[in-house]
């Protein structure tokens, strides 16, 4: 047995045979050509063919994985028309009198290298996209269909890496799981795997493909990120048991759909879901959440190459509110900075970005960005039950400024005759020790608190949440964190506000009873954890 470990991007277990994904690499030769104009025409025809293929893939993706995930193929179509990319190809053909295949291959390599060397992880991931479109154009130039071989049986696809288009073209009914040697969890391929519910592991190491063969038996554990190739009997039976328990658990949890989140002694609580995009609504509804407790609006900004306009934001927020049909939707204002960077913000490099200009600090120092988002939010408020939440609060004066900007925006919209809801709740995240400690002062100013335990843990324990090497010091159950949450809950209730938790700790069912005893009113978790938390709530008895 050989074991490889990478990063699990979708939690499930699969057993089956390996199929090594081979793409027909178009071998590109450099040939001299005499008729440059004919070569350019050939290139133009190939690009049109590539664009048509991408349109087909886009339509397939749209049906299977939703609009946001399909967008990458729209981006590919745009990349094919990118001016710099095309100028480079044409100049190679013209100046070197060489064939179009060669010019596309060289340009693709150069652009891919350029993206890969960028600091921004989002831009790095674009390296695979430019390679993908270049290979597609080369295939069209050489009349090769370019797609890899996939076995007819249901198999575990093993690849060096999978381009987004390759991932979406995999026939879901024939794929048990996929494992890639390379890849980042930020890549669209990983995002697609999660959306397609395919157990997947990425980044198992460059040696991986040298050690697996077509037909090898393997077990993929998407929870731990492990793949066991030719597993021994013990491993096989352990994983078979884990798989059936996992399926049984998932199945049993389905029976909790439609049931109340109520403890044995009758205490009710709201269980909401966390999302990063309007396209996650399907998962929220499937998970039977009572509402959305955290919509991380910054993903709208991260997916774009420029500031999303008021209209773009309004459309996204409206879609979520309408889809949730009157259920609570809490949208958090822009929480960019630290680990979430978008180039166009031109944020200065900082020694300690987690302690730097991030989240509300950016909004308060760039009121025009903040006001655009608030206008979109208030306009969308007319379409459902909106709550607006502000991240990274540390002081009363910040909150005073925020509330006054909100009032200004509301007054402007009303003066323009725009319909807005007057029931929009305003809340803050408790994710700094400062906010928890002065929660008695903050509570009277808002309708709700939502505890961001991910950041609250990082700032309370002085442990960088991005730094895997200090994991042993990150005690998420640390008494200091629990006391800060309890203190915030007491202060919220004393001043008539409600309090939820939207950090990862909300899904830790070993703490559900502790949270309920503190008086937490709402827990907001990933859509797939809603039923698990409901189950934990229904087993609590607070009367004892």
Residues at the contact surface with ligand PEP, assessed by CB under 6 A: 294, 296, 335, 431, 452-455, 502-503
Q: Residue 315 corresponds to which tokens in the numbers above?
A: 């459309």
Closest CA to 373 of 261, 322, 297, 480: 297
Number of chain residues interacting with Mg ion (CB under 5 A): 3
Q: Which of the choices ligand PEP, Mg ion, none does residue 222 contact, using the CB cut-off of 5 to 8 A by kind?
A: none
Task: Indicate the residue among 121 and 454 with the shorter CB distance to ligand PEP.
Answer: 454
Q: Which is nearer to Mg ion, 318 or 340 (CB)?
A: 340
Least separation in angstroms between residue 338's CB and Mg ion is 9
> Using an 8 Å Cβ cutoff, are 258 and 466 in contact?
no
Q: Which is nearer to ligand PEP, 523 or 531 (CB)?
A: 523
**How far, CA to CA in Å, does 506 sit from each of 319, 412, 485, 516, 525?**
26, 37, 12, 11, 6
Diameter over CA atoms, the chain: 89
Question: Active-site residue among 188, 363, 406, 540?
Answer: 188
Strands 498-501 and 448-451: parallel
**Residue 503 interaction partner, one of ligand PEP, Mg ion, none, beta carbon < 5-8 Å per kind:** ligand PEP
Distance in Å, CB of 443 to ligand PEP, minimum: 19
* Residue 279 contact among ligand PEP, Mg ion, none, beta carbon within 5 to 8 Å by kind: none
Nearer to Mg ion, 166 or 431 (CB): 431
Out of Mg ion, ligand PEP, none, which partner does residue 97 contact, by CB within 5 to 8 A per kind? none
Per-residue binding string, Mg ion, 452-471, x by CB under 5 A, is x--x----------------
CA atoms within 13 A on the CB side of 492: 28
Concatenated DSSP letters for 37-104? HHHHHHHHHHHHHHHHHHHHHHHHHHHHHHHHHHHHHHHHHHHHT-HHHHHHHHHHHHHHTB-HHHHH
Closest CB to Mg ion among residues 360, 518:
360
Does 463 participate in catalysis according to the annotation?
A: no
502 binds, among ligand PEP, Mg ion, none (CB under 5 to 8 A by kind): ligand PEP
CA distances from 387 to 242, 297, 370, 428, 534 (A): 40, 13, 16, 10, 22
453 binds, among Mg ion, ligand PEP, none (CB under 5 to 8 A by kind): ligand PEP
Are 506 and 525 in contact by the 8 Å Cβ rule? The answer is yes
Which one of the listed residues 140, 406, 502, 540 is annotated catalytic? 502
Closest contact distance (angstroms) between CB of 276 and ligand PEP is: 9
Q: How near is the Cβ of 454 to ligand PEP at its closest, in Å?
A: 3
Q: How far is the CB of 58 from ligand PEP (least distance, A)?
A: 30
Q: Which is nearer to ligand PEP, 168 or 442 (CB)?
A: 442
Q: Are 359 and 337 in contact (CB under 8 A)?
A: yes
**Local structure of residue 384 (DSSP, 8 states):** S
Q: Can 76 be counted among the known catalytic residues?
A: no
| Least distance from ligand PEP to the Cβ atom of residue 334, Å | 11
H or E element that contains 293: strand 292-296
φ, ψ for residue 113 (rounded to 5)?
A: -65, -40
**How many other CB atoms are there within 10 angstroms of residue 138's CB atom?**
24
Q: Which residues have C-beta within 8 Å of that of residue 364, sequence separation ≥ 6?
A: 370, 398, 401, 402
Active site residues: 188, 502
Positions touching Mg ion (CB under 5 A) are 431, 452, 455
């Amino acid at each position: 047995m050989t074991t490889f470990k990478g990063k699990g991007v979708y939690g499930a277990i699969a057993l089956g045979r390996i199929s090594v994904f081979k793409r027909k690499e178009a071998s590109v030769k450099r040939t001299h050509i005499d008729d440059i104009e004919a070569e350019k025409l050939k290139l133009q025809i190939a690009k049109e063919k590539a664009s048509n293929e991408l349109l087909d893939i886009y339509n397939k993706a749209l049906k299977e994985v939703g609009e946001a995930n399909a967008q990458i193929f729209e981006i590919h179509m745009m990349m094919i028309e990118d001016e710099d990319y095309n100028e480079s190809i044409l100049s190679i053909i013209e100046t070197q009198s060489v064939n179009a295949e060669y010019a596309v291959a060289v340009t693709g390599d150069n652009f891919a290298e350029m993206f890969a060397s960028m600091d921004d992880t989002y831009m790095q991931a674009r390296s695979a996209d430019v390679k993908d479109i270049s290979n597609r154009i080369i295939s069209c130039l050489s009349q090769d269909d370019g797609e890899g071989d996939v076995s007819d049986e249901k198999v575990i696809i093993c690849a060096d890496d999978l381009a987004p288009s390759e991932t979406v073209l995999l026939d879901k009914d024939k794929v048990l799981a996929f494992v890639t040697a390379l890849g980042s969890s930020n890549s669209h391929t990983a995002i697609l795997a999660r959306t397609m519910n395919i157990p997947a592991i990425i980044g198992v190491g460059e040696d991986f493909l040298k050690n697996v063969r077509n037909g090898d038996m393997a077990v993929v554990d998407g929870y731990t990120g492990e793949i066991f190739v030719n597993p021994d009997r013990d491993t096989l039976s352990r994983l078979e048991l884990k798989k059936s328990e996992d399926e049984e658990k998932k199945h049993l949890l389905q029976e909790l759909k439609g049931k109340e989140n109520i403890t044995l002694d009758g205490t009710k609580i709201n269980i909401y879901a966390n999302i990063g995009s309007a396209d996650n609504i399907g998962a929220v509804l499937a998970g039977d959440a009572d509402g959305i407790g955290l919509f991380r609006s910054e993903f709208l900004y991260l997916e774009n190459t420029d500031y999303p306009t008021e209209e773009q934001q309004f459309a996204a927020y409206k879609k979520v509110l309408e889809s949730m049909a009157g259920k609570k939707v809490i949208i958090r204002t822009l929480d960019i900075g630290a680990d979430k960077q978008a180039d166009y913000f031109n944020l200065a490099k900082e020694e300690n970005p987690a302690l730097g200009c991030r989240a509300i600090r950016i909004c308060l120092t760039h009121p025009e960005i903040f006001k655009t988002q608030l206008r979109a939010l208030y306009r969308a408020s007319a379409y459902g039950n909106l709550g607006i939440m502000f991240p990274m609060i540390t002081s009363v004066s910040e909150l005073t400024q925020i509330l006054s900007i909100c009032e200004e925006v509301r007054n402007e919209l009303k003066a323009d005759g725009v319909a807005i809801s007057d029931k929009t709740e305003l809340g803050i995240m408790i994710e700094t020790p400062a906010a928890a400690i002065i929660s008695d002062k903050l509570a009277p100013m808002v309708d709700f608190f939502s505890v961001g335990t991910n950041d609250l843990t990082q700032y309370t324990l002085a442990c960088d949440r991005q730094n895997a090497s200090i994991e042993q010091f990150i005690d998420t159950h640390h008494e200091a964190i629990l006391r800060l949450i309890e203190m915030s809950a007491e202060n919220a209730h004393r001043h008539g506000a409600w309090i939820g938790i939207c950090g990862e700790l909300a899904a830790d069912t070993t703490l559900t009873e502790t949270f309920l005893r503190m008086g937490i009113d709402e827990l907001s978790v990933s859509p797939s954890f809603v039923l698990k938390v409901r189950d934990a709530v229904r087993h609590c008895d607070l009367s004892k």
